[in-house]
Amino acid sequence: MLHTVHQFTEFVYTQLTNAASNQFLSGGLVLGGIGAAGIALRRLPKQIWRLFLRYGTVIVDVQNSAAAYVWLLYWLETQGYSKVSRRVSVKHIRMKNGDAKTILVPARGDHWFFYQRRPLWLIRSVDKEAAGAPGSAADFIAALEAKETISIRMLGRSRDVINDLIESARVLYETSTDALLHVHRHQWGGWQNRTKPKRPMESIFLPASGGDLLQDMQQFVDQRDWYLQMGIPYRRGYLFTGPPGTGKSSSAEALAGALGMPLYVLNLAGMTDSSLESAVANIQQAGVAMLLIEDVDTVLLRREKSLESQKISLGTLLNVIDGVQAADNVILIMTSNNPQSLDTALTRKGRIDKVVDFGLASESQINVAVRRFLPQTTVEQCREVATWPRPLSMADVQEYLKKMVIH
């Protein structure tokens, strides 16, 4: 065996020696070696670059199907780089409260910017296969629905900076429209949208039975994933009772503003079964919405459907509250001046999770309102408050206080 190896080695050595003595063959070998070295050297930077990207950077990919995609788009618009970038594109996004917004963000391609003094490489790309064949009839529609990805790459191995960036984008998006409340009121056969300044929670006076309303609703909003995992319809119902002027509707408005969700207002007077079903079916929201059905006791509910044009059947109302046609992602609030007149089927557990009684103003509520409107209360003002007739609704209290402040 060793003898055979020795013979093979001598043969290879002899051939190489002969090749070296042949100037044409040796020249070809030299040129071939130089060419191979050139190819290797030309590929070396790319290989080093790939190794650097793989082991020296961190990257996060966010597709347009993820909630964080909208967060990042909205965050990018607010950054200094986006305001000076010479390559931008128009994007239409929907804010948390359901409001549509048009923004300018860096166009598709590569962009460099700094975050927390760290250079970041942002890439906006689209799946070309999902965009359809050029010139095809479906090209335009497919392009609108194409899978787009935002990739953010950072030097280093720690993900803390990227995690902080995404969290900052989420917080900015969640709190972006805190100043305005979107109120959708059903009129003229459809939802009419208008915006108004949010009503501060400090401006309403919740009764003792409703002191934890905001916390209760916020807990419901935070438990969406649990509802989905358990297969439970994601909706919650409240009944606000009490005489007119006690703050039922205004409390719903303040709560919707505090939770950052749109408010849909329905008055059943003049509605029919079909118009009620259509109204609830056309509630559109990006997240959780609040549906306020005012003065439900003022409408005489029929047990069964009929051809009567100006009356709503109890079955239809129950169906849009928690039946097949009910909208998910909804906090339902019904108000009633006379809860004793309501059918027990409407107020049973499962449809109504919490009843809050808005009674007439108590002395403690009056005192709180006086301190809010008149921080520097004089003796004369206290005497005037004492002369107010009792009982009073909170609406009456506020009217008296407005007159005192104005005069």
Question: Residue 159 has what DSSP assignment?
Answer: -
Give the dihedral of Cα atoms 185, 222, 346, 244; nearest 10 deg: -50
Is 194 a member of any domain? yes
CB 49 within 8 Å of CB 78: no
Check whether residue 318 and residue 268 sit in a common domain: yes
Which of 149, 174, 199 is at the close of a domain? 174
Residues 50-58, mean pLDDT to the nearest whole number: 76
Range of the domain at 374: 363-406
Query: Number of folded domains in the chain?
Result: 3
Backbone angles phi and psi of 277, in degrees to 5: -60, -40
Check whether residue 102 and residue 234 sit in a common domain: no
Q: Which of these ranges, 126-130, 166-170, 181-185, has the smallest mean pLDDT? A: 126-130
Q: Which of these ranges, 56-65, 108-117, 126-135, 244-253, has the smallest mean pLDDT? A: 126-135
Check whether residue 164 and residue 204 sit in a common domain: no
Q: Model confidence over 318-349: pLDDT tens digits? A: 888 887 777 788 899 999 988 888 888 888 88
The reported pLDDT for the residue numbered 186 is 86
Out of 22-26, 241-245, 377-381, 398-402, give the one with best mean pLDDT.
241-245
Residues of the chain with pLDDT > 70: what percent? 77
State pTM to two decimals.
0.57
The reported pLDDT for the residue numbered 2 is 47
Residue 91, burial from CB neighbour count under 10 angstroms (0-12, 13-18, 19+) = middle
CB 177 within 8 Å of CB 99: yes
Check whether residue 373 and residue 339 sit in a common domain: no
Which of 333, 357, 381 is at the close of a domain? 357
Whether the per-residue pLDDT at 402 is higher than 90: the answer is no
Give the dihedral of Cα atoms 291, 293, 294, 296; nearest 10 deg: -160
Is 9 a member of any domain? no
Query: Where residue 24 falls among pLDDT bands split at 50, 70, 90?
Result: very low
Q: What is the CATH number of the domain that holds 186?
A: 3.40.50.300
Check whether residue 131 and residue 69 sit in a common domain: yes
Check whether residue 197 and residue 294 sit in a common domain: yes
The reported pLDDT for the residue numbered 40 is 55
The reported pLDDT for the residue numbered 293 is 92
